[in-house]
Amino acid sequence: MKFIKLLLVALSVTLSTASVLAEERLGLYITPIDNDCPFNQKQLESRVEGEFLRARLKPDEQDSAFLYVKVQCLKTHAGDRHNGYIVASNIAFAIGEGQPQLLFLDDYGTVAIGGTGESGKQFLLNVVVEGTSNAITDFLKATL
């Protein structure tokens, strides 16, 4: 009986902690990407929102503090042959009403180069997602 009570208390603490974490909110603003990117807008949004879900954050479009994600792409060529992509990402915390009006200096983005094959395209998307994950980790460290 004592074991069952202890188990119930542990379960209760776990559930209450999970519900507190689930209430953490951070806005999310992803700028539209151009046609030169090796992935589409839906793929980018799905993967970035997945990082929010893994962190038990609710991407709140009405929040005035948010994570700003901007991706710009350029196709590379060798002569007439398309041989890869350059992807530049800016991932930063921002404040504003509906769109960024003030970006904070810490930028979790980068510039990466990848090929035209499926693995190159996946690599470039993963680079953007990793920057998002690093930003979310710092947000959680600061707010928990």
Residue 100: per-residue pLDDT: 73
Helices and strands counted in the chain (H then E): 3, 6
Structure tokens at 26: 């951070």
Q: pLDDT 10s digit of each residue in the chain, 144 long?
A: 443 333 223 333 333 333 334 457 788 999 999 999 999 999 999 999 999 999 999 887 667 788 999 999 999 999 999 999 999 999 999 988 766 778 787 799 999 999 999 999 999 999 999 999 999 999 999 888
Strand-pairing partners, residue 102, are 95
Domains defined along the chain, listed by start: 25-143 (3.30.160)
- pTM tops 0.85, yes or no: no
Return d(Cα 66, Cα 135) in angstroms, integer: 11
Residue 120: per-residue pLDDT: 96
Which is nearest to 71 in space by CA: 84, 47, 90? 90
3-state secondary structure of 63: coil
Residue 98: per-residue pLDDT: 66
3-state secondary structure of 86: strand
